[in-house]
């Protein structure tokens, strides 16, 4: 099963906020160069025009171009990504994702197997390789905003305090599928811990029935 191929589109609200913020920052940057320069580089009208143009392009135009081209490029890269699996390990769900390793958002795919969560990067990254996270070591999974704006982030926290920040499409579906496997693993672990893998309730019931039958026969 493959999920997360439907790209998250930035809403117009966030595009406009991003465009305004970018325009202001770019205008301030140009003004700073102009202020410390020995010559007058930009007029006020020039600063405003360049700031508005830069903000519109990167706040509205760039996300649109990225949505059109990034999907086609990533699909070609993801076909080649194959994780290293253990004996009797099977892939149940897979889909595109990014994993933050320091400041780099490493592109690749997430795989949910019958044993663990796997992230495998594609070749066009500085930091490459495979990251394995056993379900039994996951303490918590939380939803997060990427850049505090876009609802496409998931953070996985392990028992040893490590945090893995993923960026995925269809975040709620990923969250549901990962949570299902965590609950299933915890239920199995609790059962084995309490009963050692044996159905003691059934065994005790059969023994009690046997004892009662014997007493009845004696009487």
pLDDT above 90 covers a percentage of the chain that reads: 30
**16 band by pLDDT with thresholds 50, 70 and 90:** confident
Residue 174 structural domain: 91-195
| DSSP assignment string, 90-123 | -EEEEEEEEEEETTEEEEEEEEEESSEEEEEE-S
Look at the chain and report how many structural domains it folds into: 2
Residue 97 has pLDDT above 70, yes or no: yes
Q: What's the CATH number where 97 sits?
A: 2.30.29.30
Residue 21 lies in a domain: yes
Residue 32 lies in a domain: yes
Q: Are 166 and 110 in contact (CB under 8 A)?
A: yes
Q: Could you tell me if 42 and 122 lie in one domain?
A: no
Q: What is the pLDDT of residues 101-159, one digit of tens each?
A: 888 888 889 999 999 999 998 877 788 889 999 999 999 999 998 877 778 899 999 99
Residue 216 lies in a domain: no
Residue 72 lies in a domain: yes
Residue-wise burial string across 126-157, b where 16 or more C-beta atoms lie within 10 A, e elsewhere: eeeeebbbebebbeebeeeebeeebebbbebe
């Amino acid at each position: 099963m493959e999920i997360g191929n439907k790209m998250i589109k930035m809403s117009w609200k966030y595009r406009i906020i991003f465009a305004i913020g970018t325009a202001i920052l770019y205008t301030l940057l140009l003004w700073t160069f102009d202020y410390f320069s020995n010559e007058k580089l930009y007029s006020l009208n020039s600063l405003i025009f360049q700031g508005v143009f830069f903000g519109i392009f990167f706040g509205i135009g760039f996300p649109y171009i990225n949505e059109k081209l990034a999907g086609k490029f990533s699909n070609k890269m993801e076909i080649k990504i194959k994780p290293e699996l253990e004996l009797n390990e099977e892939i149940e769900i897979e889909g595109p994702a990014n994993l933050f390793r320091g400041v780099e958002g490493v592109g690749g795919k997430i795989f949910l197997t019958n044993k663990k969560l796997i992230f495998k990067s594609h070749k066009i990254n500085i930091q490459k390789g495979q990251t394995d996270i056993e379900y039994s070591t996951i303490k918590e999974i939380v939803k997060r905003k990427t850049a505090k704006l876009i609802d496409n982030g998931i953070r996985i926290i392990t028992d040893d305090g490590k945090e893995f920040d993923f960026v995925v499409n269809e975040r709620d579906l990923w969250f549901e599928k990962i949570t299902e496997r965590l609950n299933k693993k915890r239920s199995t672990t609790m059962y084995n811990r309490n009963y050692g893998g044996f159905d003691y309730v059934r065994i005790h019931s059969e023994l009690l029935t046997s004892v009662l039958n014997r007493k009845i026969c004696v009487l």
